Amino acid sequence: MKILYKGIEPIIAVVILVAVTLVIAIGVIGWIMGWWATLGGTESIKVYPDSYINATTSTLVLHIKNEGSAAAVIYKIEIAGVGVYSLTQEISLPPGNEITYNLDLQGATTIPGAKYTIKIYTRACNVISAVTEAKP
């Protein structure tokens, strides 16, 4: 009694296994390196040095630009030693756009000439830090 096996040739099986292994390896490497996240675009917020805090009116004058390839949505701004401000109306900044945004610091006391660290929080979970000065 002779048993006959029917199936694919061993060389074809090896080629299929190598191809599947390569596809999985490329996927894992891409995930580790962050290649897949950049396919949808990234935001890149630049804070211009002419941003400042007006100590007299308790207002942050924030001059920013989105230099990335995806829209940025800012929902919170934190100023060290002053306060955390959740924006009632989020700032949506398309790629390439720049704006000057005035944020009322709700009567917070700032010292003219002092430097303050600002953190800008976006919906893409990025935190952009900048240092600005309080002007009289």
pLDDT tens across 57-109, in order? Answer: 999 999 999 999 889 999 999 999 999 999 999 999 999 999 999 999 998 99
The correct CATH number of 45-135 out of 3.90.380.10, 2.60.40.1890, 3.20.20.70, 3.80.10.10 is: 2.60.40.1890
Strand 45-47 to strand 98-104: parallel, antiparallel, or no bridges (unpaired)?
unpaired
pLDDT at 55: 94
- Token readout for 136 is 């009289």
Sequence spans of domains, the chain: 10-39, 45-135
Q: Is there a contact between 53 and 116 (Cβ–Cβ < 8 Å)? A: yes
